[in-house]
DNA sequence: TCTGGGGTCCTAGGACCC
DNA sequence: TCTGGGGTCCTAGGACCC
C-alpha cells in the first residue's frame, strides 16, 4: 500500500501577508483587492471567515458582511517565493513531490518508515519543519491515495493531521457530504441531490452502469471512490511526474464596461503580447488562438481559430486574435472582459517556405531583443504600435513586430 | 451581493476521411 | 438515393479547482 501525503497550507495568502506585516495577525483580513473593486476574495483569514467571508465571494459582498475587515491587494511574487520554500521543505521528506497549486502538494512517502517512523510521526516532523523554515502552518492528510488524502487534509484544518489507515477509506468517506469530494461542485451536488444522494456513502449502493450513463466518466470514478477503491482512477496519476502546460491565457475585466474600440484593441494586444512572451519562455509554438468576450450582462463567448502553422510571434497571434474580435464583437456593445489564449502546443512552427522562413527569423531576433528590453525596463516599455493607446490599427502593418530602435522607443 | 484570473478536463456536434 | 461506421480534428460551452 502506498503512503500518500496531501499537504495544504492554511489560509496561505493571508498567512504570507502576516509574515510581512505581523500587525495583521488575529484580525479579519481579506486578500483580493479593495472593498469597492470588481473582483472576488482570493483568501480570507479565519477571523474574517466567521462573518461568512470566503474565497470566490465578490469583494463588495465581503465588505457588507465584514465591514471592519482589512482588504489587501495580493502579492503573487511573495506567494511564489513562499511556494518555493514550501516545496523545498517537502523535498526534505521525499523526492516524489508534486505541487498541485501554489499552496498544496502531494508527497509519496511509501517505504520511508525506517527514516521517519510511522506516517503520523513523519507528519508531525513535517509540520514542525514547515513552521521553522517558512513560519507557516499547514494541514496534512495521509492515506493510500491522492483523493482520500486530499479530503483528509481538508478535514484536518486548521493546522492538523489526519491519517486514514489502509482499508478504512470507504468508512471514512461514507458520512461526508458528496460536495467534500474534489470534482463535485455546485452542479454535480444538485444533480446528485435530485436522485436522493447527499452523502458519499449513498453513492456506494448505486449501479455503476447507471452512474456512468447519468454522469459519464465521473460517475464511474465516483462509484469506485465511494467503495474505497483508488487504484487506476483519473485522480491517481504518478506523483512528481512533470507535465507541460496545455494552455496559456490572460484576461482582463475592466473597472467599467467599455465599447471604446481603441481601449479594447489596446487591451487585446497587451494580453496577446503577454501570452506570446510566455510561449517563448516555454519554447512552445501554438496552433490555436482563443478569444474570450464577456458583455455587461455577463454572457460570455469564446471563439477559436487554428492557424496554418504554429507560432510564438506577437504579430502573428495578434493578427489572428484581432480578426476573431472584429468578427465576433457586437459592435457598440459594452464589454466587461476580454481574454486571449493559446492551445495546441508544438516544439517548432513546422515547415515554412523559404520566404516565410526568412521573415520568421528576423521576427524572432527582433522579439528576443524586445523580450530583453522588457526584462530591463518593464513590460510596458516596448509594445506593438497598436498596443499603445490612441494609435490606429494601420500601424500594425508598418511595424509588425515593434522593432526596437524604431518607434515606439523605450524611455528610461 | 454581482460575480477575478489562471488553469484542467469532459461533452457534443460537425467536418472530413477511409 | 437508403442511410454505416470508425477515427480524428476543430470548435463552443461548461463544470470544476485554487
Is the pLDDT at A323 greater than 80, yes or no? yes
Is the pLDDT at A42 greater than 70, yes or no? yes
Residue of A327, A325, A320 lying closest to A344 (CA atoms): A320
Is the pLDDT at A397 greater than 60, yes or no? no
pTM: 0.88
Question: Which residue has cell 480578426?
Answer: A323
pLDDT bin (cut points 50, 70, 90) of residue A406 is: very low
- Same domain for A343 and A319, yes or no, is yes
Is the pLDDT at A390 greater than 50, yes or no? no
Inside any domain, residue A108: no
- Same domain for A252 and A382, yes or no, is yes
Inside any domain, residue A132: no
Is the pLDDT at A167 greater than 80, yes or no? yes
- Same domain for A231 and A354, yes or no, is no
Contacting residues for A188 by C-beta, under 8 A, at least 6 apart:
A178, A215, A218
Is the pLDDT at A234 greater than 60, yes or no? yes
- Same domain for A260 and A307, yes or no, is yes
In the structure, how far is the CA atom of residue A301 from the C1' atom of nucleotide B13, in angstroms? Answer: 17
A234 touches strand C (CB under 7 A): no
* CATH number for the domain that contains residue A181: 1.10.150.20
| Average pLDDT of chain A to the nearest whole number | 88
Select the more confidently predicted residue: A225 or A99.
A99
Q: What is the pLDDT of residue A348?
A: 79
- Same domain for A258 and A375, yes or no, is yes
Q: Mean pLDDT lowest for which of A44-48, A194-198, A226-230, A296-300?
A: A226-230
Strand B footprint, Cβ within 7 Å? A 38-40, 42, 55-56, 58, 60-61, 64, 216-218, 234, 245-253, 278, 297-298, 336-337, 339, 341
- Same domain for A68 and A29, yes or no, is yes
Mean local confidence (pLDDT), A141-163: 96
pLDDT bin (cut points 50, 70, 90) of residue A207 is: confident
- Same domain for A253 and A340, yes or no, is yes
- Same domain for A227 and A270, yes or no, is no
A149-156's contacts with Cβ under 8 Å and 24+ in sequence apart are A149/A4, A149/A5, A149/A6, A149/A106, A150/A6, A150/A8, A150/A182, A151/A176, A151/A180, A151/A181, A151/A182, A152/A6, A153/A6, A153/A7, A153/A8, A153/A104, A154/A8, A154/A180
Nucleotides of B under 7 A from a protein CB: 1-12
Q: What is the pLDDT of residue A372?
A: 72
- Same domain for A272 and A381, yes or no, is yes
Q: How far apart are CA A21 and CA A9, in angstroms?
A: 18
Q: What is the pLDDT of residue A383?
A: 58
* CATH number for the domain that contains residue A255: 3.30.1490.100
Is the pLDDT at A366 greater than 80, yes or no? no
pLDDT bin (cut points 50, 70, 90) of residue A325 is: very high
Determine if the peptide bond prior to A274 is cis (ω within 30°).
no
- Same domain for A353 and A378, yes or no, is yes
Q: How far apart are CA A268 and CA A279, in angstroms?
A: 16
Q: What is the pLDDT of residue A215?
A: 82
Q: Mean pLDDT lowest for which of A72-76, A157-161, A211-215, A226-230?
A: A226-230
- Record the cell numbers describing residue A142, joined without a space: 495521509
Inside any domain, residue A410: no
Instruction: Pick the catalytic residue from A17, A18, A47, A104.
Output: A104
Q: How many CB atoms lie within 10 A of CB A41?
A: 22
- Same domain for A231 and A260, yes or no, is no
Inside any domain, residue A229: yes
* CATH number for the domain that contains residue A35: 3.40.1170.60
Select the more confidently predicted residue: A135 or A397.
A135
Mean local confidence (pLDDT), A340-349: 92
What's the domain range around A319? 248-387
Inside any domain, residue A127: no
Is A316 part of the annotated catalytic residue set? no
A310 touches strand C (CB under 7 A): no
How many independent structural domains does chain A possess?
3
Amino acid at each position: 500500500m502506498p503512503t500518500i501525503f496531501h499537504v495544504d497550507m492554511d489560509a496561505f495568502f493571508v498567512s504570507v501577508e502576516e509574515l510581512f506585516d505581523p500587525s495583521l495577525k488575529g484580525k479579519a483580513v481579506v486578500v483580493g483587492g479593495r472593498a469597492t473593486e470588481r473582483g472576488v476574495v482570493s483568501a480570507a483569514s479565519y477571523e474574517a471567515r466567521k462573518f461568512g467571508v470566503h474565497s470566490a465571494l465578490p469583494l463588495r459582498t465581503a465588505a457588507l458582511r465584514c465591514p471592519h475587515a482589512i482588504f489587501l491587494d495580493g502579492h503573487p511574487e511573495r506567494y511564489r517565493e513562499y511556494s518555493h520554500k514550501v516545496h523545498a521543505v517537502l523535498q526534505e521528506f521525499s523526492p516524489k513531490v508534486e505541487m498541485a497549486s501554489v499552496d498544496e502538494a502531494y508527497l509519496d512517502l511509501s517505504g520511508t518508515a525506517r527514516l521517519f517512523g510511522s506516517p503520523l510521526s513523519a507528519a508531525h516532523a513535517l509540520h514542525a519543519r514547515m513552521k521553522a523554515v517558512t513560519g507557516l502552518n499547514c494541514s496534512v492528510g495521509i492515506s493510500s491515495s491522492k483523493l482520500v488524502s486530499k479530503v483528509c487534509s481538508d478535514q484536518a484544518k486548521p493546522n492538523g493531521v489526519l491519517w486514514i489507515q489502509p482499508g478504512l477509506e470507504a468508512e471514512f468517506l461514507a458520512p461526508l457530504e458528496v460536495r467534500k469530494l474534489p470534482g463535485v461542485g455546485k452542479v454535480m451536488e444538485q444533480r446528485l441531490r435530485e436522485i436522493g444522494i447527499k452523502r458519499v456513502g449513498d453513492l456506494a449502493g448505486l449501479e455503476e452502469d447507471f452512474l456512468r450513463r447519468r454522469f459519464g466518466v465521473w460517475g464511474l470514478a465516483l462509484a469506485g471512490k465511494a467503495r474505497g477503491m483508488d487504484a487506476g482512477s483519473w485522480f491517481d496519476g504518478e506523483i512528481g511526474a512533470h507535465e507541460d502546460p496545455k494552455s496559456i491565457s490572460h484576461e482582463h475585466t475592466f473597472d467599467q464596461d467599455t465599447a471604446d474600440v481603441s481601449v479594447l484593441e489596446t487591451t487585446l494586444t497587451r494580453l496577446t503580447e503577454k501570452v506570446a512572451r510566455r510561449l517563448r519562455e516555454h519554447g512552445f509554438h501554438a496552433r490555436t488562438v482563443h478569444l474570450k468576450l464577456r458583455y455587461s450582462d455577463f454572457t460570455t463567448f469564446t471563439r477559436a481559430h487554428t492557424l496554418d502553422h504554429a507560432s510564438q510571434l506577437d504579430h502573428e497571434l495578434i493578427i489572428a486574435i484581432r480578426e476573431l474580435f472584429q468578427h465576433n464583437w457586437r459592435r457598440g456593445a459594452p464589454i466587461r472582459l476580454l481574454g486571449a489564449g493559446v492551445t495546441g502546443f508544438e516544439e517548432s512552427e513546422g515547415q515554412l517556405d523559404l520566404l516565410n522562413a526568412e521573415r520568421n527569423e528576423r521576427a524572432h531576433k527582433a522579439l528576443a531583443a524586445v523580450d530583453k528590453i522588457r526584462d530591463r525596463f518593464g513590460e510596458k516599455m516596448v509594445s506593438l504600435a497598436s498596443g499603445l493607446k490612441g494609435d490606429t490599427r494601420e500601424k500594425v502593418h508598418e511595424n509588425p513586430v515593434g522593432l526596437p530602435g524604431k518607434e515606439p522607443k523605450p524611455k528610461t
